[in-house]
Amino acid sequence: MGKRNKVITYGTYDLLHQGHVNLLRRAKELGDYLIVGVTSDSFDLERGKLNVRNNVLERVEAVRRTGYADEIIIEDYVGQKIDDIQRYDVDIFAIGSDWEGKFDYLNEFCRVVYLPRTEGISSTMLRSESQPVHRLGIIGTGRIAQRFVPESRFVSGVELTAVLNPCPEEARAFADRNGIAASHASFESFVGDVDAVYISSPHLTHYEYAKRALCAGKHVLCEIPMVLSKAEAEELYALAEAKGLVLLEASKTAFCPAFNHLVALVKSGVIGEVVDVRASLSKLVSGRLRELDTMQAGGCMTELSPLPLLAIVKLLGKEYSSLGFYSKMESGVDVFTKGIINYPHAVSTITLGLGVKTEGNLVVSGTKGYVYVPAPWWKTDFFEVRYEDQNRNRKYFYAYEGEGLRYELQEFISMIVSGRTSSHRLRRSESILIAEIIEKYLEKESLTLI
């Protein structure tokens, strides 16, 4: 028997359709053994493909059922195609003509064939047909709202349809600038235009807006800090639950791929038992800004603590034993705060600065090694696991696309579509705990001024 003619092809194969089936048939006809590489979920995320519906097991199963694949492998990293072609001794690399020219570099390793693509169908098309577009309204027109608009375009199944600002001119200007159809100065008229809201107004307005939106039957994605007290957080989540609505705190780091992997690695014991977490975040500001305004809940703790607290709560859990805070105050707001959150078998610190600059990194120390995430750790795209024996150190690189707000929006929409009211990336109990710690700080009982 002569050598088999091996063909390899790759794809996501989400919502398997006739185009995929035709392509696999044509690829198989090129030889007598077909290997199909199906992208892993994390590889798709890393490539910015955030909307894939079927998980990798479902996609592999769908490819298997076509009957054309002799072998199915998982594609998990950039550059893997070259490795696979050599490892499996592949003769032909085949891919749809939409990729014409893009894989010519593989000619060095095997024959590259671009097969005719089936017109008029794609996973993207099926995803948008089967998913109603959710009308999202933005409350607030400040800096974060402005950053959110372009980010939302990377998430399918959502359209920004309205904006609310009590000042009609500002609402209109924001809508015009960003191509949003409707602008409103009144909540009642605004809420009629949307299915869900994104709250990015000043901190002290979050609770009221979230409550009103939930009462009006709208899903809510709320900027950090969602609220500044445990009772308010509990009340809002209970209200959302009772109404069957999604309420998600937009703690962006919680939803980005690298941070999720970091948490999973630490939980699986790669640095042993976690004994110390140190998370810092500083942003030097001056002038008449909300961040420094006592009347708008300014100060480091309200402004900067939610992300460092997220890291601590994710890594050490919710059962802390005591809290201590040290702050430098200026004109009534904390411009520097160090917080110590003790656990029965671990300790953690947050170091925050609005008027003090410090290195914004994250260090997670364990009994076997530590994880180092350089500044700005909250936009996680890289971290390193380090050991006494430096030869064992490992660096992990990820994409952190744009401003990173697309990840939280993606999770929010996915929760709405699938009817999930809770996200394992940021549990409601974790969000409540973060509000509780901020509240304890504001009560000043464990505060020492420096």
Q: Which residue is nearest to ligand CTP (CB)?
A: 96
401 neighbors 234 (Cβ within 8 angstroms): no
Please state, as a whole number, how many other Cβ atoms lie within 10 Å of the Cβ of residue 351: 22
Among 23, 155, 236, 297, binds ligand CTP (CB under 6 A): 23
Should residue 81 be labelled a site residue for ligand CTP when binding is judged by CB under 6 A? no
CB 121 → ligand CTP: shortest distance, Å? 5
Write out the binding residues for ligand CTP, residues 57-76 only, by CB under 6 A: none
CB 30 → ligand CTP: shortest distance, Å? 13
Residue 99 vs 396, nearer CB to ligand CTP: 99
**Planar angle of CA 94, 95, 97, nearest 5 degrees:** 125
Stretch that binds ligand CTP, among 17-25, 77-85, 149-157, 272-280 (CB under 6 A): 17-25
Report the alpha-carbon distance of residue 63 to residue 370 in Å, rounded: 41
Residue 67 vs 244, nearer CB to ligand CTP: 67
Nearest to 63 by CA among 93, 96, 21: 21
CB 169 → ligand CTP: shortest distance, Å? 41
Residues 410-429, mask of contacts with ligand CTP (x by CB under 6 A): --------------------
Among 6, 8, 13, 56, binds ligand CTP (CB under 6 A): 13
Stretch that binds ligand CTP, among 9-17, 201-209, 226-234, 382-390 (CB under 6 A): 9-17
CB 47 → ligand CTP: shortest distance, Å? 11
Q: How many CA atoms lie within 13 A of 111 on its CB side?
A: 10
Report the alpha-carbon distance of residue 393 to residue 8 in Å, rounded: 34
Should residue 95 be labelled a site residue for ligand CTP when binding is judged by CB under 6 A? yes
427 neighbors 232 (Cβ within 8 angstroms): no
CB 115 → ligand CTP: shortest distance, Å? 7
The residues facing 197 across adjacent strands are 137, 220
Write out the binding residues for ligand CTP, residues 111-150 only, by CB under 6 A: 117-118, 121-124
Report the alpha-carbon distance of residue 30 to residue 99 in Å, rounded: 18
196-199 β-sheet, strand order: 182-184, 158-164, 134-139, 196-199, 219-223, 247-250
Site residues (CB under 6 A) for ligand CTP?
9, 11-14, 19-20, 23, 95-96, 98-99, 117-118, 121-124
